[in-house]
Amino acid sequence: MFDMRIINPKFFIIILFAVFSFGMFSSSFANQADEMMKQANNYYQLKQYDKAISIYQQIIHEGYVGTALYYNLGNAYYRENKIGLAILYYQKALQLSPGDNDVQHNLAIANTKTVDKIETLPPFFLFQWWESLLAFFSVNGWTYLAYIFYILFLSAIGFYFFAKKPKMQRYSFFGGLASVVLLIITISLLIINLNRQLNIKNAIVIVPAVTVKLSPDNSSNDAFIIHEGLKVREEDHVDNWVKIQLQDGKEGWLPEDKIATI
């Protein structure tokens, strides 16, 4: 039997104080981040984009993320004509909110400013449909949806056992069955998105131009040249070099400080 007498009351006081302090700290940080956002937005409205960028970056450095933050930062970089960094933060915003029309619109405009136009074969319509489905929600969105279907499934079970009429039990049974099917589909899509997020790293070129090498060495032969704003896939890392792949399949190596991971 568990004996409460062996617990020192001071222990509970320490735990409560720690929880209370953490809550106060989180609330204080959130308020501070909101004030900093307002200040940065004011600088943006005054067309002092460098000051706005500095504050937005400070908020990110403190650990805060958000669609609005990345979107505003992308806009500020765009106004400063730093297309690569603008595209980077638009892409980060889309990771959090894939269906945001404003972000998609501004990203499309920024992409028109890029030099490199990589020609790729149009995807098969089923693959295109599949990619659109995966991108319909972010990882957080698919997680929330899975929770919703799980709760609906539990609710259907409860209604089934407590319903007194056979008709209500039938409704509960089929409702629970539909919830299970949708839950399985949602969890599968969530796992696929998580796997992509963990194993597939895309990046944006953030310098005006960079020469891609055939091997991770400055003395290596040149492979091709790419320019600011181009989206590439990170394939491998060796010291301070990154192996990249373009959408058309070309591969090569470049210094890691020439790109920024989305």
- CATH classification at residue 79: 1.25.40.10
Q: Give, in degrees to the nearest 5, the angle at Cα 116 between 113 and 122.
A: 105
Q: Which amino acid is at 42?
A: N
The answer for residues whose C-beta is within 8 angstroms of residue 37's C-beta and 6 or more apart is: 55, 59, 68, 69, 72
**Residues 41 and 97 grouped into a single domain:** yes
Distances (CA, A) of 177 to 4, 142, 171: 45, 19, 10
Residue 38 included in any domain? yes
**Residues 14 and 107 grouped into a single domain:** yes
**Residues 207 and 194 grouped into a single domain:** no
Mean pLDDT of 29-46: 88
Which of 158, 178, 199 corresponds to the end of one domain? 199
DSSP 217: S
Residue 188 included in any domain? yes
Number of alpha carbons in the 13 Å side-chain half-sphere of residue 181? 6
- Sign (positive or negative) of CA dihedral 229, 226, 196, 198: negative
> Is there a contact between 116 and 250 (Cβ–Cβ < 8 Å)?
no
**Residues 161 and 133 grouped into a single domain:** yes
Q: What is the pLDDT of residues 113-144, one digit of tens each?
A: 999 987 765 666 677 787 778 778 878 888 99
Q: How confident is the model at residue 19 (pLDDT cuts 50, 70, 90)?
A: very low
Long-range Cβ contact pairs of 235-242 (< 8 A, separation 24 or more): 241/216, 241/217, 242/203
Q: What is the pLDDT of residues 169-204, one digit of tens each?
A: 888 899 999 999 999 999 999 998 888 877 789 999
Count of residues making up the chain = 262
Residue 120 included in any domain? no
State the Cα–Cα distance between residues 32 and 23, nearest whole angstrom.
14
Taking 90 as the threshold, does the pLDDT of residue 254 lie above it?
yes
Which of 179, 199, 219 corresponds to the end of one domain? 199
Residue 22 has a pLDDT of 46
Residue 215 — φ and ψ, nearest 5°? -145, 165
**Percentage of the chain modeled with pLDDT above 70:** 86
State the Cα–Cα distance between residues 232 and 226, nearest whole angstrom.
10
Residue 3 included in any domain? no
**Residues 159 and 250 grouped into a single domain:** no
State the Cα–Cα distance between residues 168 and 190, nearest whole angstrom.
32
Q: What is the mean pLDDT of the chain?
A: 85
**Residues 212 and 189 grouped into a single domain:** no
Residue 16 has a pLDDT of 45
Residue 116 included in any domain? no
State the Cα–Cα distance between residues 178 and 243, nearest whole angstrom.
45
Q: How confident is the model at residue 53 (pLDDT cuts 50, 70, 90)?
A: very high
**Residues 170 and 182 grouped into a single domain:** yes
**Residues 138 and 104 grouped into a single domain:** no
Mean pLDDT check: name the lowest of 62-66, 148-152, 198-202. 198-202
Which of 148, 168, 199 corresponds to the end of one domain? 199
**Residues 194 and 232 grouped into a single domain:** no
Residue 118 included in any domain? no
Residue 163 buriedness (CB in 10 A; 0-12 / 13-18 / 19+): middle
Residue scoring higher pLDDT (198 or 159):
159
Q: Give, in degrees to the nearest 5, the angle at Cα 75 between 74 and 77.
A: 65
> What CATH number does residue 253 fall under?
2.30.30.40
Q: Which domain holds residue 69?
A: 8-111
**Residues 61 and 103 grouped into a single domain:** yes
Residue 29 included in any domain? yes
Taking 90 as the threshold, does the pLDDT of residue 80 lie above it?
yes
Q: Which amino acid is at 172?
A: S
Residue 139 included in any domain? yes
**Residues 228 and 247 grouped into a single domain:** yes
Distances (CA, A) of 89 to 11, 228, 257: 45, 14, 16
**Residues 179 and 212 grouped into a single domain:** no
The answer for residues whose C-beta is within 8 angstroms of residue 133's C-beta and 6 or more apart is: 189
Residue 136 has a pLDDT of 81
Domain count, the chain: 3
Taking 70 as the threshold, does the pLDDT of residue 11 lie above it?
no
**Percentage of the chain modeled with pLDDT above 90:** 60
